[in-house]
Structure 1
Amino acid sequence: MNPAVRRFAPMCLLALAAARPLPSDPDTRAWWATTAALSDDAMEGRDTGSAGYERAARLVAERFARAGLKPAGDERGYLQRVPMEELRVVRASVSVGGRPLRFLHDIMMNPAPGAPDTLNGALAYRGYCAADALGDVRGKIVICHGTHRPGLPSEVERVATVEAAGAAGLLTIADPGFTVEPPRWPFAYARAVWIAGKPPKSSGPVRFTLNADALAAVIAGSGRDAGRLIAAGAAGQPLPAFDPPKPFHATFRLAQRTISSPNVLGILPGTDPSLAAQTIVLSAHLDGYGPGEPVAGDALYNGTLDDAAYVALLIRVAEQRAGKGFRRPVLFAAFTGEEKGLLGARWFVDHPTVPKPRIAADINLDQLRPIFPLKLLTVHALDDTTLGDDARAVAAAMGVEVQRDPEPERNLLRRADQWPFMQAGIPATAFVFGYRPGSESERIYRQWYRTGYHKPQDDLAQLIDWQAASDFNRFFTTLVTRVADQPASPVWKPASPLRPQTAR
């Protein structure tokens, strides 16, 4: 990373932040001050396993202690260490017919244990990569359009089909037609992290993600129009099968190391002995991306809204209680490794510091963007547990409507830290700011996903709707009080398709 860029970007950020009015109410100001501390450049983006993450974890532990939470980590401390392995692409060279592709901008490799350091072969474009479209692709690098459309092969199906056919590599075109969550280029880095002892599958084709803008270079000389192929694939129209004439060549240098990164856990004991076995978990993820590929001259991915702001909200709720318990115990959890596959939450669920049968629910904070008015709230698993009823009641009292997830193709329910709890049979929920189709709120939301999501521009200088932030924080605080104090514990609803057979 260019040191001049690193110096310049924080100066711009501070100047922009200083020029913007701060929230007027004390609670929102206190929340934002903690957000600023967690997403400051000194935390270096809080990448899993980094020194910056460790600094952020110590800050959260100190604030939990000052707020009156009791240690709930390992060995009577606030930290719960999660052992991990990391595999990183240190250097890459990729070309087609001698024409280079820019790594992280045109193409990205998904590193996996046992991956070769060189891959050479003929290319085969096979549309959506349905089994009947592949033909003989043994030893070839297969190009597939990465559609999300129902009725066409999913990612899992594409990988399985190409592997079964004996292909050496898979280039998945990131679909620009998936406008609900557009492809993000450049990638910050090419890196895989997993819980120690549970490595990802190492066999099968080497997997790449291809920028749609680079397809023309990949199929040059085939006589095919890349723009038309991309447009047809984005629309779900029929696609051809053909073999581009120029060979694919890639070399990599991979580095693997053992790392660890802590969850930060603090508990507020309950006041009602009859409810002591019904702990409510409040969670958010502390990790971000850290230093990565520069975007608009900024190479530090601060992760202000994803998810420093909502670890800050956990701290703020604890501070407001000042050691005064709810009827039920409440465990405050800042998880690590969410961006690498929900690793901290998975580790906690598998190694709970509160006996798992004594965990009644998880309310998770992620995917929240207070950048337009809070009039509509998406509630994950709205109809699956009684937490949905609680959220509906609290929102109604505030004049906020709730809705089910209007974009299930994004799979957001399974992409955040509530999911490991639900897999373990524990009722859980999470939230997304909603919008009406065609509204100004939708325009702002879509723009953020193009320019802010998992980018350095998710920092303290971005525009925030302070009233929306305040409204959600109030919603969350009220919901926590209701769930932690009401007579009945959260439960699954019998008709829920997500309800595990072992659910309590």
Structure 2
Amino acid sequence: MLVSFLLAAAAAGHRPPRAAPAPDRDTAAWWQATQALSGDDMEGRDTGSPGYDRAAQLVAASFAKAGLKPAGDNGSFFQTLKLNDVTIEREGTSLAVGGRPLRFLQDLTLRASPGMPTQLDAGIAFRGYCGRDAMGAVQGKIVLCYGTRKKGLPAPAERAEAAKAGGAIGLLTIADPSFTVEPPRWPAAYARTVTLEGEKPPANDAMLIGSVNAEALGALIAGSGQDAAAIIAEGSAGRPLPSFDAGRLTAHIALSHRALRSDNVLAMLPGTDPALKHEVVVVSAHLDGYGFGEAVDGDVLYNGAFDDAAYVALLERLAERRAGKGYRRSLLFAAFTGEEKGLLGAVHFTAHPTVPIATIVADINLDQLRPIFPLDLLTVHALNESTLGDDVREVAAKSRIAVQIDPEPERGLLARADHWLFIEHHIPATGFVFGYRPGSPSEAIYRGWYETRYHRPQDDLSQPIDWAAAGKFNRFFYDLTAKVADAPTRPTWKPGSAYAN
């Protein structure tokens, strides 16, 4: 298996600069597990899909083979979530402005919501950045806003509040192409909203809420006499924008509703120290991906190899290496579902923990990791908030890895991964991003990945990998886990942390 894998990698020609000529044995074993979870037969592991269920069974079998104990519901490896899915079906949905059709998921996408209108014929009112003072007469109209993220200009919640207060029936936001730290990605994979059973409908449930591709702005405001390119240029710069009324948007929305089930996969490596074994360190990653979606370069399967199959595979690899041998503290392995749909697996687990939540002392989460350039710098979430960050610093230093806080907090990465739910429950937690120096070749590689592969079918097994960087991070993770699980004292929040009790 290893030989065939190496030959295939060599034939594909995927050798990033400074990459090792081949993965070491441990890294190769990790990648084989990644292949098993993100191959086409797993169909992208969409939450609640048969492909996800197959992947969950595979992970549970791997945990059992490695000697871990079931830590899910009813003595099993699974914790089942009951979910509701609302989807805007591509077939049967049509959108047009002034009789000119718009391409759903390509020109604009909409938030699927149970109470959203399915038939619509309404005027479009462009209101710049959509502050309350810019609204004017929007009663019964669809407000179109420039979605800037610049400080001092209205944030998304302010725009929504202003549109609703003005009596608008819809809010469309132009995705700002100047937000280059994480550029808008088109097409959208699909328009789905998945929620936990019993969860309240989203805010503004009855409004038409959506995002507009900047390249399609001209079609939305055709006939208004306004220059779409000028609006994009001025909006990108944060300069004043006009307010004007455009044509009418007509929409027929094909909405479907489904009840789903999907499982967290949970397994325990019991601790060995009589005084510490009742304390639990969680190591987590998300198993779900996007599944099938809108085609990009002819490919409709969003495999999610790096996001996040590779790091569920790293949990499997850690379990295999331990072979049932515990640390002083107990270690809970958690492969969460529904992360891509709103951190649902972590939300459910922290609300309904299968171990007493008071016994959980830390979470080390694996997500947002891209081993595509040399690893000499890690961005560490909540680095300065708890002593867990001190453990990270010590282990990273031994691995010759520098650490930093998030240099791009405007992206909100801290709250976009499963560790956030543990932090919200006042449990020290962290996660990691491969860092880069501004203007370096590594930054160019990182930016390129986000433009072409993030939440795209191109995040697959054929993409370039820096084997040395991948192996270096994996070893860092093994060492950090051991340090936290074997330390004489549990991680604690630092004085003054906003996340402490």
- Please give the range of the TM-score, normalised by the shorter of the 2 chains: over 0.9
The answer for the alignment partner of 1:52 in structure 2 is 51
What is the aligned-residue identity percentage? 61
Kindly indicate whether the alpha-carbon contact (under 8 Å) linking 1:162 and 1:205 is maintained by their aligned counterparts in 2. no
Kindly indicate whether the alpha-carbon contact (under 8 Å) linking 2:371 and 2:469 is maintained by their aligned counterparts in 1. yes
- Is structure 2 residue 163 aligned with structure 1 residue 199? no
User: Alpha carbon RMSD of aligned pairs, Å?
Assistant: 1.3
Cα displacement (A) at 1:192:
0.4
Q: Which amino acid is 2:212 matched to?
A: L
Determine helix, strand or coil for the equivalent of 2:313.
helix
Kindly indicate whether the alpha-carbon contact (under 8 Å) linking 2:139 and 2:167 is maintained by their aligned counterparts in 1. yes
- Is structure 2 residue 117 aligned with structure 1 residue 82? no
Deviations 1:313-349 (A, max 9, x none): 0000111000000000000000000000000000000
Deviations 1:241-270 (A, max 9, x none): 1111x2111111100011010000000000
The answer for the alignment partner of 1:178 in structure 2 is 179
The answer for the alignment partner of 2:237 in structure 1 is 235
For the residues of structure 2 that align with 1:24 and 1:359, how far apart are their CA atoms? Answer: 34
Determine helix, strand or coil for the equivalent of 1:255.
strand
The answer for the alignment partner of 2:217 in structure 1 is 215
The answer for the alignment partner of 1:380 in structure 2 is 381
The answer for the alignment partner of 2:480 in structure 1 is 479
For the residues of structure 2 that align with 1:437 and 1:370, how far apart are their CA atoms? Answer: 18
For the residues of structure 2 that align with 1:336 and 1:17, how far apart are their CA atoms? Answer: 33
For the residues of structure 2 that align with 1:312 and 1:171, how far apart are their CA atoms? Answer: 39
For residues 120-199 of structure 1, what are the structure 2 equivalents within 5 Å?
120-199=121-200
- Is structure 2 residue 12 aligned with structure 1 residue 19? yes
- Is structure 2 residue 45 aligned with structure 1 residue 41? no
Cα displacement (A) at 1:72:
0.2
The answer for the alignment partner of 1:433 in structure 2 is 434
Runs ≥4 in structure 1, deviation > 4 angstroms? 14-18
The answer for the alignment partner of 1:92 in structure 2 is 93
Kindly indicate whether the alpha-carbon contact (under 8 Å) linking 1:118 and 1:250 is maintained by their aligned counterparts in 2. yes
**Residues 390 and 76 from structure 1, CA distance in 2 versus in 1: closer, same or farther, beyond 3 angstroms?**
same
How many residues are aligned here?
486
Determine helix, strand or coil for the equivalent of 2:261.
strand
Deviations 1:430-473 (A, max 9, x none): 00000011100000000000000000000000000000000100
Q: Which amino acid is 1:217 matched to?
A: A
Which is worse superposed, 257-266 or 227-236?
A: 227-236
Q: Which amino acid is 2:356 matched to?
A: P
Q: Which amino acid is 2:416 matched to?
A: R
Cα displacement (A) at 1:276:
2.4
Cα displacement (A) at 1:15:
6.6
TM-score (norm. length: structure 1): 0.95
For the residues of structure 1 that align with 2:8 and 2:166, how far apart are their CA atoms? Answer: 56
The answer for the alignment partner of 1:469 in structure 2 is 470
Determine helix, strand or coil for the equivalent of 2:275.
helix
For residues 59-70 of structure 1, what are the structure 2 equivalents within 5 Å?
59-70=58-69
Kindly indicate whether the alpha-carbon contact (under 8 Å) linking 1:109 and 1:209 is maintained by their aligned counterparts in 2. yes
The answer for the alignment partner of 2:346 in structure 1 is 345
The answer for the alignment partner of 2:401 in structure 1 is 400
Kindly indicate whether the alpha-carbon contact (under 8 Å) linking 1:288 and 1:302 is maintained by their aligned counterparts in 2. yes
Kindly indicate whether the alpha-carbon contact (under 8 Å) linking 2:87 and 2:191 is maintained by their aligned counterparts in 1. yes
For residues 257-406 of structure 1, what are the structure 2 equivalents within 5 Å?
257-406=258-407
Cα displacement (A) at 1:206:
1.1
Which is worse superposed, 211-220 or 18-27?
A: 18-27
Determine helix, strand or coil for the equivalent of 2:253.
strand
Cα displacement (A) at 1:175:
0.7
The answer for the alignment partner of 1:114 in structure 2 is 115
For the residues of structure 2 that align with 1:390 and 1:408, how far apart are their CA atoms? Answer: 22
Determine helix, strand or coil for the equivalent of 1:325.
coil
Q: Which amino acid is 1:271 matched to?
A: T
Determine helix, strand or coil for the equivalent of 1:470.
helix
**Residues 322 and 418 from structure 1, CA distance in 2 versus in 1: closer, same or farther, beyond 3 angstroms?**
same
Kindly indicate whether the alpha-carbon contact (under 8 Å) linking 1:163 and 1:204 is maintained by their aligned counterparts in 2. no
For the residues of structure 2 that align with 1:167 and 1:362, how far apart are their CA atoms? Answer: 43
For the residues of structure 1 that align with 2:33 and 2:187, how far apart are their CA atoms? Answer: 29
Determine helix, strand or coil for the equivalent of 1:273.
coil
Determine helix, strand or coil for the equivalent of 2:379.
strand
Cα displacement (A) at 1:423:
0.6
**Residues 44 and 18 from structure 1, CA distance in 2 versus in 1: closer, same or farther, beyond 3 angstroms?**
farther
Determine helix, strand or coil for the equivalent of 1:274.
coil
Kindly indicate whether the alpha-carbon contact (under 8 Å) linking 2:306 and 2:460 is maintained by their aligned counterparts in 1. yes
Q: Which amino acid is 1:448 matched to?
A: W
For the residues of structure 2 that align with 1:151 and 1:319, how far apart are their CA atoms? Answer: 51
Determine helix, strand or coil for the equivalent of 1:413.
helix
For the residues of structure 1 that align with 2:185 and 2:389, how far apart are their CA atoms? Answer: 32
- Is structure 2 residue 73 aligned with structure 1 residue 71? no
The answer for the alignment partner of 1:102 in structure 2 is 103
For residues 448-459 of structure 1, what are the structure 2 equivalents within 5 Å?
448-459=449-460
Determine helix, strand or coil for the equivalent of 1:293.
strand
For the residues of structure 1 that align with 2:54 and 2:406, how far apart are their CA atoms? Answer: 35
Kindly indicate whether the alpha-carbon contact (under 8 Å) linking 2:268 and 2:333 is maintained by their aligned counterparts in 1. yes
Kindly indicate whether the alpha-carbon contact (under 8 Å) linking 2:23 and 2:468 is maintained by their aligned counterparts in 1. no
**Residues 16 and 468 from structure 1, CA distance in 2 versus in 1: closer, same or farther, beyond 3 angstroms?**
closer
Determine helix, strand or coil for the equivalent of 1:260.
strand
Cα displacement (A) at 1:376:
0.7
For the residues of structure 2 that align with 1:476 and 1:200, how far apart are their CA atoms? Answer: 38
Deviations 1:59-100 (A, max 9, x none): 000000001110000000001101100000113101100011
Kindly indicate whether the alpha-carbon contact (under 8 Å) linking 2:271 and 2:278 is maintained by their aligned counterparts in 1. no
The answer for the alignment partner of 2:17 in structure 1 is none
Cα displacement (A) at 1:209:
0.7
Mark the runs of 5 or more structure 1 residues left unpaired by the alignment.
1-13
Cα displacement (A) at 1:205:
2.2
For the residues of structure 2 that align with 1:20 and 1:477, how far apart are their CA atoms? Answer: 30
Determine helix, strand or coil for the equivalent of 2:94.
strand
Cα displacement (A) at 1:204:
4.6
Kindly indicate whether the alpha-carbon contact (under 8 Å) linking 1:17 and 1:460 is maintained by their aligned counterparts in 2. no
Kindly indicate whether the alpha-carbon contact (under 8 Å) linking 2:293 and 2:300 is maintained by their aligned counterparts in 1. yes
Cα displacement (A) at 1:200:
2.8
Cα displacement (A) at 1:273:
1.5
Kindly indicate whether the alpha-carbon contact (under 8 Å) linking 1:376 and 1:403 is maintained by their aligned counterparts in 2. yes
Determine helix, strand or coil for the equivalent of 1:242.
strand
- Is structure 2 residue 490 aligned with structure 1 residue 497? no
Deviations 1:3-37 (A, max 9, x none): xxxxxxxxxxx977853478331100000000000
